[in-house]
Amino acid sequence: MTDTNGAISNELQFKAVIDELEGLLRQQLELARKGNIAEVETLAGKTHILAEQMSESELVAGPLFEERRKGLQELYAQLCLALSAQIDDVSQSLGRVCKAKKTVTLYRDNV
């Protein structure tokens, strides 16, 4: 995909990196929707590396990337929404746990 120093040297490699990034974003989105945040985080490291490689390439300013940019942005936006929904769920669950803990503490202190 890239040469030994991680640089993208031609359009074919650049397209392969875009394809791989898109695939990873789709995987992260599916995992986030299923609540598997740990695996989303693991894949985030890989997506970060690919995004860095792309941003360092001269081809990022070219028409090849422009064609795919909107799709990548949409996937990223969907991933952010899915993760936000997971944060809300966790926050609500944490609130219920804290409330239950306070209730148990009150009962224990009054017995």
* Tens digit of each residue's pLDDT (9 = 90 or more) over 53-104: 988 888 888 888 888 899 999 999 999 999 988 877 777 888 888 888 888 8
Confirm whether 64 is domain-assigned: yes
Confirm whether 42 is domain-assigned: yes
CA–CA distance, 85 with 91 (Å, rounded to integer): 10
For the chain, the average pLDDT equals 86
Share of the chain above pLDDT 90, in %: 46
Confirm whether 106 is domain-assigned: no
- In terms of residue numbers, what domain contains 60? 11-83
Structure tokens at 11: 């359009």
